[in-house]
Structure 1
C-alpha cells in the first residue's frame, strides 16, 4: 500500500483530534462547569474521538502492520492523556472511583451511557468517510461485514483482557503516585505494549466501550461472548486492581524506594 494512503489515515485521525478539541472548547463556553451535563458531554466527546481514531487504526493495522498501528496508538494515547482532562472514555475507571468512594453509582452509569452514545454513534461519520474512498485502503470497507478479533475461546479471551487490564491499571496507579519524569509517555508505552501483546489473541481492547463500538455484532462471536470477553473480563481486571494495589507487597514492588521511605 502507498504512503499516500497512510497519510490520509493519519490526516483523518488528526482531523478528529482537532474536531474533538474544538467540541470541548465550545462545550466549555456554552455550558457552566456545574452539574453532570458538562461531565457527560466531555465523556461523549472523548469516546467519539477514541472510537473514530481506532476505526481508522483498524485500516492501518490491516494494511501497514501492527508496528505502524502501535506507533499511531502510542502518539494518540499521549495526546489523549494531555487533553481529555477528567474524561476517560472507559467505564471501568468510574467503577474504580465508585469503589474508592469518589463517585456514585448513578454518575458511573450516566458516564458509561454517555461514552456508549459517543462511541457508537460516530461510526456513521466514519462510514461516510470510508465510502468516499479517498484512499485505496478504504475501498469496500464502508459496507463490509466486520469480523471479530477474538482468536481464542471466549473464556481465554476474557482472561487475556482481564489480566492485561489489571496490569495496565496497576501501572497507571503506580505512575500516578510516583509521578516520574515523562510519566505520560511511560504510561502510554506500557498500555500500547500490552495492546500489541494481546492483539493477535483478543484484539487488545481493554476498554468495553471501544470494543462495543468497533466489534459489537461482528462475525466470529456471539453478543454474549462479546460481553464476557470485553465487558466482564476487562471490568473484573480493573476492579481487582483497586484492592491489589493496596497490598503492601504490591506497593513495595511497584513503588520501590518511595514505599520503603514511607515505612
Structure 2
C-alpha cells in the first residue's frame, strides 16, 4: 500500500482529534459547569474521539501491519491522557470508582450511556469519510460486513481481556501513586504493549464501549459472546484490581512498600 493512504489515515485521526478538542473547548465555554451534564458531554466527546480514531486504526492494521498500528495507538494514548481530563470513555473506570465509594450508581449508568452514544454514533462520520474513498485502503470499506477479532474460545477471550485489563489497571494505580517522571508515557506504553500482545487472540480492546462500537454484531461471535468477552471479561478484570492492589505482596512488588493507610 502507498504511503499516501497512510498519510490520509493519519490526517483523518489528527483531524478528528482537533475536532474533538474544539468540541471540548466549546462545551467548556457554553455549557454550565454545574451538575452532571458537562461530565456526560466530555465522556461522549472522548468516546467518539476514541472510536473514530480506532475505526481508522483498523484500516492501518489491516494494510500496514500491527507495528504501525501500535505506533499510532501509543501516540494517540499519550495525547488522550493529556486532553481528556476527568473523562475516560470506559465504563469500568466508573465501576471501580463506585466500588471505592467515589461515585454513585446513577452516575455510572449515565456516564456509560453517554460513552455508548458517543462511541456508536460516530461511526456514521467515519462511514461517510470511507465512502468518499480518498485512499485506496478505504475502497469498499464503508458498507462491507465486519468480522469479529475474537480468534479463540469466548471464555478464553474473556480471560485474556480480563487479565490484560487487570494488568493495565494495576499499572495505572501504581504509576498514579508513585508519580515517576514520564508516568503518562510509561502508562501508554504498557497499555499499547498489552493491546499488541492480545491483538491476534481477542483483539485487545480492554474497553467495552470501544469493542461494542467497533465490533457489535460482526460475524464471528454472537451478541452474547460479545458481552461475555468484552463487557464481563474486561469489567471483572478492572474490578478485581481493587482488592488485588491492596494485597501487601502486590503493593510491595508494584510500589515497593506496604500500604500503611488504613482503609
Q: TM-score, normalised by structure 2?
A: 0.98
Does structure 1 conserve the Cα–Cα contact (< 8 Å) formed by 2:251 and 2:258? no
Does structure 1 conserve the Cα–Cα contact (< 8 Å) formed by 2:195 and 2:205? yes
Task: Provide Cα deviations, 1:6-31, integer angstroms capped at 9, x if missing partner.
Answer: 00000000000000000000000111
RMSD between aligned alpha carbons?
1.1
Distance in 2 (CA, whole Å) between partners of 1:139 and 1:31 is 39
Task: Provide Cα deviations, 1:68-111, integer angstroms capped at 9, x if missing partner.
Answer: 00000000000000000000000000000000100000000000
Name the structure 2 match of 1:106. 106
Name the structure 1 match of 2:228. 228
Distance in 2 (CA, whole Å) between partners of 1:228 and 1:157 is 9
Name the structure 1 match of 2:203. 203
Name the structure 2 match of 1:55. 55
Residue 121 of structure 1: how far off its partner (Å): 0.2
Aligned ranges 1:80-95 → 2 under 5 Å: 80-95=80-95
Residue 32 of structure 1: how far off its partner (Å): 1.7
Distance in 2 (CA, whole Å) between partners of 1:33 and 1:8 is 36
Name the structure 2 match of 1:130. 130
Task: Provide Cα deviations, 1:121-162, integer angstroms capped at 9, x if missing partner.
Answer: 000110000000000000000001000000000000000000
Name the structure 2 match of 1:183. 183
SS in structure 1 opposite 2:126?
A: helix
Task: Provide Cα deviations, 1:187-243, integer angstroms capped at 9, x if missing partner.
Answer: 000000000000000000000000000000000000000000000000000000011
Residue 261 of structure 1: how far off its partner (Å): 10
Name the structure 2 match of 1:164. 164
Name the structure 2 match of 1:237. 237
Distance in 1 (CA, whole Å) between partners of 2:81 and 2:144 is 32
Distance in 2 (CA, whole Å) between partners of 1:3 and 1:183 is 32
Distance in 2 (CA, whole Å) between partners of 1:262 and 1:158 is 34
Residue 168 of structure 1: how far off its partner (Å): 0.5
Name the structure 2 match of 1:34. 34
Q: Which runs of 5+ in 2 are unaligned?
A: none
Q: Does 1:255 align with 2:219?
A: no
Name the structure 2 match of 1:73. 73
Q: Which runs of 5+ in 1 are unaligned?
A: none
Name the structure 2 match of 1:174. 174
